[in-house]
Amino acid sequence: MNKTIIVSNRLPLQITLNNNNLTINPSVGGLATGMKSVHEGGESLWIGWSGLKEEDLDDELSEKVDSAIAKENCAAVSLTGSDLDNFYYGFSNNTLWPLFHYFMEYTTFEGKHWESYKEVNRKFADTVLQHTNDGDTIWVHDYQLLLLPELIKKERPNTSIGFFLHIPFPSYEVFRTLPWREALLNGMLGADLLGFHTYDYERHFLSSVRRILRLDINFNEISHQGRTLRVDSFPMGIDYHKFCNAAIAHNKQSPEQKSDLQKRLDAHLQSAPDAKMILSIDRLDYTKGIPNRLRAFEYFLDKYPEFKEKVRFILLAVPSRSNVPQYQLLKKETDELVGRINGKFATVNWTPIWYFYRSMPFENLIDLYTSCEVALITPIRDGMNLVAKEYVATRVNNDGILVLSEMAGAAKEMNEALLINPNNFEQIADTLKRALEMPEEEQVERNSFLQQRLERYSVEKWAKEFMKALQATKQLHNVIVSKKITPEIEKRLYDSYKNARKRLILLDYDGTLVNFTNKPKDAKPDPALYRLLDSLKNQENTDLVIISGRDKETFTEWFGDKGYTLIVEHGVWLKSGNKAWYALEKLKKDWMKNLKPVIETFVDRTPGTFIEEKNFSLAWHFRKADPELAQNRATELKTVLTSLISNHELSVLEGNKVIEIKSSNVNKGRAASRLLAEKDYDFIFAIGDDWTDEYMFKELPEEAYTVKVGLKKTSARYYVESTENVRELLKGFLNEAGD
């Protein structure tokens, strides 16, 4: 039976070790709840770090931990203290976390941390591979494991891999500062489905992939190493009923059942007829904007002194990563700000800020959510922010108002909240006043919309939607009909070659025999290629043809004295052996002087592009230009050129980062047919990478071995992944002949 494997940095278990006594409790966090449906259904396993360092466990204890967590359907990845320092606190929390939240000044780039990040991702991969078979589904979570999808895919290509990022993906301009940006993107691209909280993060990611890796992207699909993978946004929800039911139960509590905290909260509310409370809850993290929030509250009290002695601000800051210097500084800053503001405004009966630096039990969280009229949640950047959603879910009477930062992913779906810019104190102060004075009907209207959405798109629904989308990516691979050349197909190919009386080998040049370069002139044949082509040409009963869109001058320079058969400009000219060039087609070229100036205006407006003028065609190359701008301009140029061509003698075609305008009745298919008509070939092999080669694939007889370079839509029967594979395949012909 196929399994589902969830992988996250930490296991969803609280494991404590006291004098060799082990206690294990399941975590109650949002992710654990969301994954319940995935984790409980059928065969499943959760892989992650147990929270216990390798050094603290002897063999006996380690076995004990492993067997205890196995009972919870979990498996542990073992991490040392040094892994934690370098991989977790180092690369994950000092490089990726600040950079992805746009805190570039806190970001460190340390080679040692990167090495450890790679090693630990490898450790995770080893554990995953131990437990995985073909056909399994694997869901990897978050920024600590960006390299994992690729590491798994390499070893187990027949698994479905999903990846979800819980934090923002930054804009290309920020992401590109990372020294290891290519490796990180390639790591993520091992997945079949990549999920983000919002469309903004998704488009930032796609833009980085397009610009840094220069891959082809079609809407939200990326073609990469012969696979098509999909990118989408899945805004994470909460366990709505858990919060809503807890609030209903809370509201029914008798005075004796109330917690001490609740009693203190009630006392404040009863201290004045219009006493109100503003709540803020977050981990003490610089991304959450706590100092800004405190300063904005101070500004509010200065600007609207009528709220003094009435409004109390409750700040719950949960300790987090407290051994990291930035977090220690933040703690100091927060302590000082609270002290200063309380000192400035406090009266004998009133302290404006109640500050808690600790984690609270769930029941107290509900006390806070249900007692505060306003939630003030103002992160500077936040992937989603679940606290905002939890607050709304507990407002069972539909009153209360959420003031939320635009910089939280949650703001995208919570339009009915009062949205603010966390850096604009004026706006925060005015919005707080508006929230505190908002008529109840308006509060009810806003919250009922918000609640409906939170109930519908709960964390369970989120997990199910992601899994559904991941299953759907399996269909993507079936769209391409050509088959990868396997050892069996290779054997059949070489057998036919060996047994043939007369062979024809048709080779496209750019993107097939050599890789693309920024300038067409730079893609010269290298000595190894000459050697390979010479040997092929010298095979008995073999006609070797290079068939290309290049002009005859370039090919004369590169191959003029080589004696190969050359067909250039898509089939306009033929050169057979050492004979002179011969025109296969008689073509007009008077249209060129009219259309060239049109293309020139596109060159002027699109930096990095240029015109290649061939004898009978014009090509506009945009490989080196900004990919997004170039794609827009290419669409525009195609429309403009098509509208200018009134007869059917010319066609506008889009190739691999090139738009070419050429005579309609010239193509590689026609040229190849001429060759076929001349001799009786019983072995035909053709290979090429773009649309111009498709004419050839279509024209050749069914039994021909037609091969596409790259996994793209094609009429070819087979495909190989790269120019390196092309050369290897061709070398195989030589071995067959015993050379």
Choosing from 148, 314, 338, 384, the residue that interacts with ligand GDG (CB under 6 A) is 384
Per-position DSSP letters for 254-272, written without gaps between them: -GGGS-HHHHHHHHHHHHS
Report how far residue 47's alpha carbon sits from residue 280's, in angstroms, rounded to the nearest whole number: 33
Rule CB under 6 A: choose which of 146, 147, 148, 281 binds ligand GDG. 281
Is 283 a binding residue for ligand GDG by CB under 6 A? The answer is yes
User: Which lies closer to ligand GDG via its Cβ, residue 355 or residue 718?
Assistant: 355
Please, which residue, 107 or 385, has the CB nearer to ligand GDG? 385
Between CA 390 and CA 385 the distance in angstroms is 9
Residue 618 near residue 641 (C-beta atoms within 8 A): no
291-330 binders of ligand GDG (CB under 6 A): 316, 318
Tokens of 470: 């991941």
Any contact of residue 460 with ligand GDG (CB under 6 A)? no
In the bound state with ligand GDG, the residue whose beta carbon lies nearer, of 404 and 641, is 404
Q: Does 213 bind ligand GDG (CB under 6 A)?
A: no
Stretch touching ligand GDG by CB under 6 A, among 153-161, 385-393, 574-582, 674-682: 385-393
Q: Residue for token digits 């903004």?
A: 200
- What distance in Å separates the CA atoms of residue 530 and residue 41, rounded to the nearest whole number? 58
Does residue 383 belong to the site contacting ligand GDG (CB under 6 A)?
A: yes
Q: Quick one: 205 or 622, whose CB is closer to ligand GDG?
A: 205
List 298, 367, 373, 382, residue binding ligand GDG (CB under 6 A): 382
Residue 382 Cβ vs ligand GDG, minimum distance, rounded to whole Å: 4
The CA distances from residue 318 to 281, 327, 433, 482, 492, in Å, are 8, 12, 27, 55, 66
Q: Is 236 in the site for ligand GDG (CB under 6 A)?
A: yes
* Minimum separation from the CB atom of position 244 to ligand GDG (A): 14
Q: Which two tokens stand for residue 345?
A: 């405004």
410 or 709, CB closer to ligand GDG?
Answer: 410
Structure tokens at 38: 């995935």
Alpha carbon distances (Å) from 686 to 418, 518, 585: 63, 26, 22
- 406: contact with ligand GDG by CB under 6 A: no
Residue list 16-75, contact with ligand GDG (CB under 6 A): 30
Look up 430 and say whether it is catalytic.
no
Q: Which listed range, 169-177, 340-348, 378-386, 610-618, lies at the site for ligand GDG (CB under 6 A)?
A: 378-386
Distance CA 27, CA 14 (A): 6
**Strand 21-26 with 13-18, pairing:** antiparallel
Residue placing its CB nearer to ligand GDG in the complex, 390 or 460: 390
Rounded (10°) angle between helices 386-394 and 362-371: 70
Give the nearest distance from C-beta 380 to ligand GDG in angstroms.
12
Query: Could you tell me which of 252, 278, 437 has the C-alpha nearest to residue 369?
Result: 278
Q: Tell me whether residue 36 or residue 303 sits nearer to ligand GDG (CB atom).
A: 36
The minimum distance between CB 142 and ligand GDG, in angstroms, equals 8
Please identify, among the stretches 43-51, 245-253, 264-272, 358-366, the one whose residues bind ligand GDG according to the rule CB under 6 A. 358-366
Binding of ligand GDG by 195 (CB under 6 A): no
Nearest alpha-carbon partner for 362 in 11, 681, 30, 21: 30
CB of 255 to ligand GDG, least distance (A): 24
> Strand ranges (DSSP E) for 219-289?
221-224, 227-233, 276-283
Catalytic residue among 142, 508, 689, 693: 508
Residues 6+ apart with CB under 8 A from 618: 592, 595, 596, 599, 611, 612, 660, 661, 662
| Largest Cα span, the chain | 106
Give the CA dihedral 720, 722, 724, 728, nearest 10 degrees: 0
- Which one of residues 129, 360, 500, 644 is an interface residue with ligand GDG (CB under 6 A)? 360
Q: How far is the CB of 103 from ligand GDG (least distance, A)?
A: 13
* CA–CA gap between residue 125 and residue 115 (Å, rounded): 15
Query: If binding is defined by CB under 6 A, does position 625 make contact with ligand GDG?
Result: no
**How many whole angstroms separate alpha carbon 99 and alpha carbon 595?**
47
Out of 96, 125, 152, 167, the only residue in the binding site for ligand GDG (CB under 6 A) is: 167
CB 163 → ligand GDG: shortest distance, Å? 13
Minimum distance from residue 131 beta carbon to ligand GDG (Å):
25
E-state strands within 295-446: 311-318, 353-357, 374-377, 401-405, 418-420
386 touches ligand GDG by CB under 6 A? yes
By CB under 6 A, tell whether 390 contacts ligand GDG: yes
Q: From 1-9, 379-387, 527-535, 713-721, give the range in contact with ligand GDG by CB under 6 A.
A: 379-387
**Segment interacting with ligand GDG, rule: CB under 6 A, options 383-391, 394-402, 602-610, 613-621:** 383-391
Return the number of the residue (341 or 386) whose C-beta is nearest ligand GDG. Answer: 386
Give the containing element (helix H, strand E) for 704.
Answer: none
> Which residues make up the interface to ligand GDG (CB under 6 A)?
30, 166-167, 236, 281, 283, 316, 318, 359-360, 362, 365, 382-387, 390
| Catalytic (active-site) positions | 508
